[in-house]
Structure 1
Amino acid sequence: MIAGGQPVHEVEYDLKGVATALGYPLAQVGATPTGLTLGLEPGAAASFESVDGPLRLDQSAVVADVRRGLVRRTLSVDEAFARLGNLRSLPHHYPRWVQDISWPAIAIGIAMLLQPGWPNILAAAIGGVVVMLLVKLAGRVRLAATLLPTIAAFVVGTGVFAAAQAGWLDGPLRTLLAPLAVLLPGALVVTGMSELAAGAMVAGSARLTFGTVQLLLFSLGVLSATTVLGVAPELLANVRVNQLGTWGPPVGLAVICVGVCLNEGASMRLLPAIALVVAAAFGAQLAGQAVSGAVLGGFLGAIAGSLGASLVAYLRPQLPRLVVFLPAFWVLVPGSLGLLSVTSVGIDPQQGVRTVVDVGAVICALALGLLFGSAMAQAAAGQLARVRTPR
């Protein structure tokens, strides 16, 4: 669950539920972003297990299924260990070439939301391919993995800004964000904020610190690209073009959902539920932005996404909440941060402080929206359970 990106306070809550179902109601659980400490009884010996690396959505779905089986006592402990032991070796649902196509597909979908112009979409697709190649390089070269945000931002930024200088496209900042969105630590930072709000101070502080460093590396790459090319100030403006009309956003959302499923190995049977939650979150975000700007948009979008995913998981338990919600989260974060042009941090010193404050406000709004949505979902689930329970 930790490797799947779940906040640590939710991990601890879920594991205590599993421990209670297995006959250990006094089990003590301590989760961090990098590992888990578990003791079955107060004062008893505890064990620690580190996190090996992130999980794909299909692997997270297996974890959720195992947890549900243990809580409902439809799965034995031995069967659970067997399924979890083979988790890392599970083959990807789709062949390698399909996974490769998913990178530019996600970039195209995000571009259709942030900068819906044909030249911009083409540039985003090319940038998605570049990012894919750099991610593969980072998997083989340790130094490249450490500097991946800076290298990717510099390479993609150089290409996009050069195209803008040649007059091939407008609004390079928004165009730049589309292929790099998968590398931005927005989800990590928002998760850290939600952990802090829930009282998980160690995990929340660690995620925020790591996410801030990643953002600085990203900004360094963009700044280096603008310096090397001598980009004029007018090209750094937050300009949005729209050559697609009203059909661009819904098609973009669909492309993102399909791309995420292909990239993360999620079964296509999850696609309708994922698309429903993504559409609800994005619609609420747009409504909030129209009324009062990006902060309210992020807050309402996070509530809609978290509440929608929880209700879907309650009504159809075979659809894991985290797997259904994460794609909506990835749409919300680039959309909110793109509106505020997070890439202007470090580029325009005069606007840098204001941009940091604005981005911080959006991140807080997203984190609070997650908490509100989860609380509303728990209340709704309780009401539904009472209605379904015969008297």
Structure 2
Amino acid sequence: MADDLPISIAERRLDNVPNYPDRHEPVGFMLRLIKALHTYGVPSYELERLMTNVADQLGYGLQATVVPTSITMTFIQDEDKPRTYVIRSNSGEVNVDKLSRTIDVAYAVINDEITTEQGAKELTEITNSAPLHSKSWMILCFMLVSTAICRIFGGGIPEIITASVTGLVVGVFVNVGGLRSETVSNLMPALSAFLATLISFAFNYWIGLSSTYIPVVSGIIVLVPGMMLTIAMAELATQNLVSGTARLLGSVVIFIQMIFGVAIGAQLAALFFGEASITTMIDHQLPRWTVWIAILVSSWSLMMLFQVRSRHLPWIVITTASSFFVSRWAGAELGAATGAFFGALTVGVFANLAYRIKQVPTAAVMMPGFIILVPGSVGFRSLTEILDHNIIGGLESAFNMIIVGISLITGLLISSIATLPKPKIKTEPLEVEATATKIIEKDDE
């Protein structure tokens, strides 16, 4: 970053904070390790458990409190007075490759395979390493994910064309425009929803759409905080109440921003294209086998977006297709909540199998598999219905979203019965649960 550009508090490097321990010292290493893991989206219950094991190996007592916007760590050693450090850090990029490599560093220290000085050097290399997939690929994958999700949601040819254009425009905006200003980045959900709504109504005016809702939600599906909402519920279920509540409210704020963008987009579209409203009617006009092509395309695209190594694609496709089939079948037979439960259970089981058989990072399998299961689109629909003054329908959709979210978490918690093999630790074995964002893993470099 250039010297003349302002640096936000959340982005400030610990190396530049006065009086912080050097990164080569044990405490300095642990501070930077937890900040890196927090940045890559590790939930509180996993992060606190892992850091406690690192601190035990290095001879420190540790009390850690992690919430989505900050980290508090208190270190205790022998007769020294406790030392407390507070780190301002927002959860940042989703990068499974860097996450997995950072986890490897943590376990290498736990197993006494490397020193904290070597670990600190590796953390620097990981942070400074280039992404596996470039921004050009990210923009393309935004478009492909939007196209595939539109078909999975039941869109026809006009809706798919609209969703493709929407995904391309949003992808360019997110990957280019959103990086130039922190204010624009904070308003990204609202601005993206505004663009998606305007494009959807424009195509409805030009070619006619059975549903204006499907292209909108498909175009911004990557930004819909369904995964964030699911993690929040998992943290609440594991008694991490402060972190879970904060993350839950954060997801609600993002939903509200998106609905505000939809409202402004609809008002502006009405000026250009006449009276316009969000319609949700689905027109099934494509063969059912096209859904499986959409799943394959979305699996590959999500692999790129989440920065997963290409060799893990077969497991991602198998997991995504299996969870989709199971959730749809169970949903048709037993209801949406039961379908979500069995879908999540399927994702958890396949993530465990992938780790056991090929040492595939579980985050690499779970995150793409969850995109078609998380209740984000349901929450978005509930707010659009409220926006259209359909209060009863909106509240019903919101209630369904909560039930689906609880079902997902329950399915993942039960899938932890198929326990992952534990990394070999020379001290006490670390118990690991396969939960909504299972990230304690070892990547096969």
Q: TM-score, normalised by structure 1?
A: 0.86
Q: CA deviation at 1:184?
A: 0.9
Q: CA deviation at 1:284?
A: 2.5
- The equivalences for 1:206-221 within 5 A come to 206-221=246-261
Q: What SS does the corresponding residue of 1:245 show, helix, strand or coil?
A: coil
Say whether 1:266 aligns with 2:332.
no
- State the partner residue of 2:48: 12
Q: Which amino acid aligns with 2:263?
A: L
Q: What SS does the corresponding residue of 1:92 show, helix, strand or coil?
A: coil
Say whether 1:92 aligns with 2:128.
no
Q: How far apart in 1 are the matches of 2:412 and 2:63?
A: 25
- The equivalences for 1:94-109 within 5 A come to 94-109=133-148
Q: CA deviation at 1:131?
A: 0.7
Q: How far apart in 1 are the matches of 2:280 and 2:334?
A: 18
- State the partner residue of 1:118: 157
Q: CA deviation at 1:296?
A: 1.8
- State the partner residue of 2:223: 183
Q: How far apart in 2 are the matches of 1:149 and 1:336?
A: 14
- The equivalences for 1:19-98 within 5 A come to 19-24=55-60, 26-41=61-76, 44-51=82-89, 53-98=92-137
Q: CA deviation at 1:126?
A: 0.5
Retained in 1: the 8 A contact 2:375–2:401?
Answer: no
Q: Which amino acid aligns with 1:18?
A: V
- State the partner residue of 1:369: 411
- State the partner residue of 1:246: 288
Say whether 1:281 aligns with 2:323.
yes
Q: How far apart in 1 are the matches of 2:353 and 2:52?
A: 22
More helix by share: 1
How many pairs are equivalent? 379
Q: How far apart in 1 are the matches of 2:42 and 2:246?
A: 14
Gaps of 5+ in 1: 386-391
Retained in 2: the 8 A contact 1:64–1:320?
Answer: no
Q: CA deviation at 1:279?
A: 2.3
Q: CA deviation at 1:310?
A: 3.1
Q: CA deviation at 1:101?
A: 1.2
Q: Deviations over 1:276-310 (max 9, x none)?
A: 22223222221221123322222222222133213
Retained in 2: the 8 A contact 1:115–1:240?
Answer: yes
- State the partner residue of 1:168: 208
Retained in 1: the 8 A contact 2:201–2:276?
Answer: no
Q: What SS does the corresponding residue of 2:127 show, helix, strand or coil?
A: coil
Choose which of 169, 185, 201 in structure 2 pairs with 1:145. 185
Q: How far apart in 2 are the matches of 1:232 and 1:345?
A: 22
Choose which of 350, 354, 362 in structure 2 pairs with 1:312. 354
Say whether 1:325 aligns with 2:366.
yes
Q: Which amino acid aligns with 2:68?
A: P
Return closer, same or farther for 1:344/1:196 CA change in 2, 3 Å cut-off.
same
Q: How far apart in 2 are the matches of 1:154 and 1:167?
A: 20
Return closer, same or farther for 1:21/1:241 CA change in 2, 3 Å cut-off.
farther
Q: How far apart in 2 are the matches of 1:331 and 1:21?
A: 40
Q: How far apart in 2 are the matches of 1:334 and 1:312?
A: 25
Q: What SS does the corresponding residue of 2:73 show, helix, strand or coil?
A: strand
Q: How far apart in 2 are the matches of 1:286 and 1:30?
A: 39
Q: Which amino acid aligns with 2:249?
A: T
Say whether 1:128 aligns with 2:167.
yes
Q: CA deviation at 1:85?
A: 1.8
Q: CA deviation at 1:40?
A: 4.1
| Structure 1, 122-131 or 332-341: larger mean CA deviation | 332-341
Q: Deviations over 1:224-250 (max 9, x none)?
A: 333344499996443222333222222
Q: Which amino acid aligns with 2:140?
A: I
- State the partner residue of 1:225: 265
Q: Which amino acid aligns with 2:400?
A: D
Q: TM-score, normalised by structure 2?
A: 0.77
Q: Which amino acid aligns with 1:252?
A: A
| Structure 1, 330-339 or 110-119: larger mean CA deviation | 330-339
Q: What SS does the corresponding residue of 1:67 show, helix, strand or coil?
A: helix
Retained in 1: the 8 A contact 2:102–2:123?
Answer: yes
Q: Deviations over 1:128-185 (max 9, x none)?
A: 1111222121221333222222221122112212322444321121221111111111
